[in-house]
Each structure stands twice: as structure tokens, then as C-alpha cells.
Amino acid sequence: MAIKHALMVGMMGRVADRFHEYQSARDLIGRLELARKVTNADGIEIVYPSEFKNMQETIRIVKESGLTVSAVNLNVKQEKRWQRGSFTNPDPEIRRQAVQEMRVAMDLAVEFGTDMVSCCPLIDGHNYSFEVDYLKQWGWMEECIREGAKHRPEIRVSLEYKLNESRNANVLSDMGRSLYMVERIGLPNVGVTMDVGHALVVKETPAEALSLAALANKLFYVHFNDNAREWDWDMMPGTVNFWDLIEVMFYLRRLKWDGWFSYDVIVRDGDMAEGMQTSIEAVKIADQLVDKIGMANLEGMIQEGDPGRAYSQLFRALL
């Protein structure tokens, strides 16, 4: 299992909610300098278009940082034009613009030497009954992503799902819907990003969800974080759902999955670089714990199907 670890540059600056600011704003150069302090990271995930107000300047800054780019994160939700949706906007001109932004993101992936564009279409969905036409929404999203992804067949487009936010109900809300969308699109370069925290919020078992994507050969990218299954708090991995993290690492190892882990983690308190360092370390230690317990031993627990006996061994492995 060849794994590399990436930081989300967008998470390395200002951190705030409706009531409080936890971390101060940093410009792109400052966030990249902070990322370099995270010594166990192998690269970064950069957001387009928000980081690219000056396209050539941003390209220069990122390249001069010396940091490897794992993926370009396509963000089509924040600007006013997306208020009624991006890929599902009733206005065909706005949908055309969303497709064009995907093409630009794919061009940037080539520029940075990566083969991945990740996109979480959070503005595509609905808030109320009788607000949108579900049949048209699904068709528009399918059509737009297919059209955009054809731009560069060598670049993978990885769709990330989430139950809600910004919409009360998102079109791509779980792994099943996402895999169905990918199947309908029917292109080899369109797959799924599995965000562990998003799987938890929708009450999926993360290891099972990623296994389904892997069986379809569509598990392109993995985001790590944690929460208490009620809201997407973007906590450090394994701090709440410890055994889910161990099981995720077991199945990734069993599947011989290779690729990038990216850390969608918010550091509210303390040193941000240290929080990110700890997040990566947590996942690496979880992988080491799988080694300590033993793949054959874990597979034997699954075959036996006796939770009491299994957890006796699992807890002892922590000593």
C-alpha cells in the first residue's frame, strides 16, 4: 500500500464559525509556509478558484513552494452566481460556467503535475419540498460532470459526497448515490472521494463505504477527519471513532489501495501545524496498529464473527 499524505491549504488559515474566530487569516504564502512545517506531509490540496484570483501569480507561488500538489479542489459553491446551484442551476448559462470551471481545474491539475480534481458539489440540492425538480437536477448534474470530465480523459474527477451544507439536502449525499451518479456518467476518469467524516454524518460505516467504491474501482481519493456522527466538525482522525479508523486502515490494506490521503481537519485551538502533524501521525499509527494486531488475525476475527472475543484481543493490542 503506497500512501502519500496531503494538507488542504484552505484549512491552514482563518478558522471561524458564526460566533467566534479561532485562527487568524493567512495569505497563500503564509499558509504554504505553515504547510512546510508539517514534516510528515507529502503534499498539498489547492482550491480553485478561490486561491486563483491572480492565476499566473498563484501558479508561480505554488510551484516555488516546492510542495507537491495531490489534487486541485474545485469549489463551485461560494460565489453569488452559484446560489441556486452550480451543476444543477436552472439557468443553462450558469451550468455552462460550472462546466468551464471544471475544465480550468483539470488544466491546473496538468500544470501542477497531478492527475486529480476533487469536487464536493455542496450547493447542488434543495431546502424545501416543491423547491426544485429532482428529475431535472439529477440529469443536469450527470450531463455537466460528464461534459466537463471529457475535457481531459487523463485527469480523474473525484466526486465527494456530503449529507447537507450548503443545502439542507445535497444531491450527492452518500456513497450509494455517488456511485450511481458515477455509473450513470459512465466515464473511466470519474470516481469518488470518500471523506470519513461525511460518511460518519450520513451514518455509514466508513470501511464499508470505501469498500463499495473500491469494488466498483471508483475509490479515487480519501479525506480524513472525525466527528460524533451528528455534524461535520472536521476533528483530528481517530479522536472520536477510533475503531472505525482502524477498520478503514485494515480494509485499505486488504484492498492494496494506493493513492493520496488528504486531511480535511480544522484546528480550532493550539498550534495549527502541530494539529495537522498529529492528524497525519494518527493515521500512520492506526496503520501500524493494524500491523501489530496482524492482518491474518483481523481476518480471523471477521470469519469467527464473535465481537466479545475480537474486542478482547483488540483492546489488549493497545497495551
End-to-end Cα separation, the chain, in angstroms: 26
pLDDT at 241: 98
- By CB atoms closer than 10 A (0-12, 13-18, 19+), residue 17 is exposed
Q: Tell me: the pLDDT tens digits for 260-292?
A: 999 999 999 999 999 999 999 999 999 999 999
Residue 107: pLDDT above 80? yes
Spatial separation of the C-alpha atoms in residues 175 and 186, rounded to whole Å: 16
Biggest CA pair distance of the chain = 60
pLDDT at 12: 94
Spatial separation of the C-alpha atoms in residues 262 and 259, rounded to whole Å: 10
Spatial separation of the C-alpha atoms in residues 215 and 307, rounded to whole Å: 26
Question: In the numeric block, which cell numbers belong to residue 235?
Answer: 476533528
Residue 27: pLDDT above 80? yes
pLDDT at 9: 96
Q: How many CB atoms lie within 10 A of CB 227?
A: 18
Query: How is 246-273 classified by DSSP, letter by letter?
Result: HHHHHHHHHTT--EEEEE-----SS-HH
Residues 6+ apart with CB under 8 A from 287: 3, 249, 253
Question: In the numeric block, which cell numbers belong to residue 48?
Answer: 480553485
What average pLDDT does the segment 16-20 reach? 92
- Strand 68-74 and strand 116-119: the pairing is parallel
Spatial separation of the C-alpha atoms in residues 182 and 32, rounded to whole Å: 33
Q: Tell me: the pLDDT tens digits for 74-96?
A: 999 999 999 999 999 999 999 99
Q: What is the average pLDDT value for the chain, to the nearest integer?
A: 97
Q: How confident is the model at residue 188 (pLDDT cuts 50, 70, 90)?
A: very high
Spatial separation of the C-alpha atoms in residues 237 and 247, rounded to whole Å: 13
The CATH fold of domain 3-316: TIM Barrel (3.20.20)
Spatial separation of the C-alpha atoms in residues 191 and 117, rounded to whole Å: 10
pLDDT at 13: 94
CA distances 279 to 6, 39, 125, 274, Å, are: 11, 12, 31, 9
pLDDT at 1: 74
Domain ranges of the chain: 3-316
Residue 220: pLDDT above 90? yes
Which residues sit opposite 68 in a β-bridge? 43
Residue 258: pLDDT above 80? yes
Q: Find how far residue 246's CA is from the centre of its chain.
A: 18
Spatial separation of the C-alpha atoms in residues 27 and 67, rounded to whole Å: 16
Residues 6+ apart with CB under 8 A from 43: 4, 5, 6, 7, 67, 68, 69, 70, 260
Question: In the numeric block, which cell numbers belong to residue 130?
Answer: 416543491
What average pLDDT does the segment 41-55 reach? 97
pLDDT at 42: 98
